[in-house]
Chains A and B, each alone.
Chain A
Amino acid sequence: MMEMEDDNPVVSESESEEDEDVKLSEASKSAVNNKAGLLDKLGDISWPESVDWIHKLSFDIDEENEINVNDDLNRELAFYTQALEGARQAFTVFQAKDMPFLRPSDYYAEMVKSDAHMGKVKGRLLAEKRKMEEAEERRKARDNKKLAKEIQVQKQRERAKQKKDDIESVKNWRKQRKQSGFAGNDQDGDLSLAFEDGKSFERSNKKRPGVTPGDRSGGKGKKGFDNRRKGREKKDSKYGFGGKKGMKKQNTAETTNDFRGYSKNKKQKV
């Protein structure tokens, strides 16, 4: 069983290795590396040379450059490329040998992961996707809000300007009338003198939201009925209206087991 002789334990020279944080920085000198013994053992266990590849299914893949283990992304990429290269080579060999290797679409068999597990995986993927979409939506809404604010400010400025212009034009009109000595005084309500911009005065027919047509306060006045209603609702929610009255003081299973209010040291009311 243990026929290996230990006659030439070659002490390993420090093979050029870069040191890692968990590794010894320098190779320990006493470490055994019996190369002859290793090769001997390899000869013992290895299969005969003539064994067909189909028994082994193994490939050696060259890697272009040294893998940096601490760079997760590149490390995984290196493994992935190794696997992909291997799979491609294997498939070409299978194809050359005319062997079946692709699973037909109607071949159902037990899989490594159960359907329940795969359902979970799918659920997670969907949840992730949904989360991303939601975040996107939120971001869009935020942007929209910002934009809306800007537009609002612009509108207000425009409105102010319009008002100023209107007042100015009325003043001008008055001045003109004065200059002309109230010429058309007798003609009843003649407003035919044009304003500056050529338009005669007209009411803007824009409707404002939340303002009733006859409302002169611009929707800022108190809405008597609604207001009162709201107050009533608030009071109802605060002091209670309707519903059972008595049960509030009754003990439940939770409250009986709740000893937070009880203290041994505090004097209890008898």
Chain B
Amino acid sequence: MGKKRKHSETEAAANVNKEEIAPERPKRTLFGFKTKSEDKKENDSAPGFRNKEKVLVTCSRRISFRYRHLMLNLVDLLPHCKKDSKVESKESKGTALNELVELRSCNSCLFFECRKGKDLYLWMAKCPSGPSVKFLVNAVHTMEELKLTGNHLKGSRPLLTFSSNFDKSPHWKLLKELISQIFGTPKDHRKSKPYHDHVFVFSIADDHIWFRNYQISSGHTGTSQKLDRGDMEKMTLIEVGPRFCLNPIKIFGGSFGGPTLYENPFYVSPNTIRSLEKRQKAGKYAKKVKAKTRKKMHELENPLEVDEFADMWKE
């Protein structure tokens, strides 16, 4: 009895000790032990906050190679993503995708939907409670292009830069939050690397969101983590790729569905653009026939004067 009690007492004491010690124990990192002050700072900012973002990246069937490469590039850029096999793009894809996201225990999704083998739509969704956005993707350049000469660590956390016009209207604000959550790599993610050598650009121009990815090359050598002013001035960027341009079409309240919160008032679908083009080209034959009859009518209405010298040389 006494023995038991003693045991429990020691255990309680240990517990107390642990509680006292636990926050003070320095965390182990690649460089050894983290400094105490840093830990304190973190605790100050948001106690218990941990970014557990996981992004499911997938695409529809019959996606063209260029768009597939773009998707794979993004998979390379986001160490916190899971890639899944292709999903049939039909009306019920929303529920299927929601299920898939839940199965893979993700909380957001990037879905590349390719229609007619030429139009790429990108769905960005927070699952399971939304919101979700549908973009039309333009001006795609993949990382494989040889003009983009930069390179950076796979899995290093990107710096995100947003142009200031993201704060102009509510839908841009929402998109900014969504993008920064999906494209930002969580701190201390197990696949991420502890240095920062690339920067993402999200900029709104002409109502489109333009994406660029640059490698940061500072002319810095040596082991010290200090950059003086000259190094800052000398710092240059090299583009790594990919490039694309997102044209928001609709924002939904739920994930892959739900009430429409925003609709781009200027959006014209590529189908309409193509059909307009076709209509402009069409009717070639009808135009010709019309022109012919018009000419005939004109000739009948305005007959030529009789040429008095017509048979001068006949005799």
User: Which residues of A are at the interface with B, using a C-beta cutoff of 8 A?
Assistant: 1-6, 12, 14-15, 17, 19-20, 22-24, 27-28, 31-35, 37-39, 41-42, 44-48, 50-52, 54-63, 66-67, 69, 75-76, 78-80, 82-88, 90-92, 94-95, 97-105, 107, 109-113, 117-118, 120-121, 124-125
CB of A83 within 8 A of CB of B266, answer no
CB of B177 within 8 A of CB of A94, answer no
Q: Is B87 located at the chain interface by the 8 A CB criterion? A: no
CB of B197 within 8 A of CB of A103, answer yes
When each residue 253-277 of chain B gets 1 if its CB lies under 8 Å from chain A and 0 otherwise, what string results?
1110111111111111000010000
Chain B CB within 10 Å — which of A14, A34, A94 has the most?
Answer: A34
Q: Is B292 located at the chain interface by the 8 A CB criterion? A: no
Pairs A-B, 7 closest by C-beta atoms: A86-B161, A4-B253, A52-B45, A27-B265, A31-B265, A67-B205, A58-B160
B107 to A: closest C-beta gap in Å = 10
A112-B187 contact given A2-B258, A24-B268, A51-B49, CB 8 Å threshold: no
If A19-B266, A87-B159, A111-B151 are given as contacts, then 15 extra A-B residue pairs at C-beta distance below 8 Å, sorted by A number, are: A4-B254, A23-B267, A32-B263, A51-B49, A57-B160, A60-B167, A75-B205, A79-B212, A83-B199, A86-B161, A87-B199, A90-B199, A110-B153, A113-B143, A125-B149
A147 to B: closest C-beta gap in Å = 38
A7 to B: closest C-beta gap in Å = 10
User: Which residues of B are at the interface with A, using a C-beta cutoff of 8 A?
Assistant: 31, 35, 38, 41-42, 45-46, 49, 51, 76-77, 126, 128-131, 143-144, 146, 149, 151-167, 169-171, 173-174, 177-178, 180-181, 184, 186-187, 193-197, 199-201, 203, 205-208, 210, 212, 214, 216, 218, 220-223, 225-227, 232, 235-237, 240, 251, 253-255, 257-268, 273
Chain A CB within 10 Å — which of B41, B151, B254, B267 has the most?
Answer: B151
The residue that B235 contacts in the complex, of A69, A87, A118, A121, with Cβ under 8 A, is A87
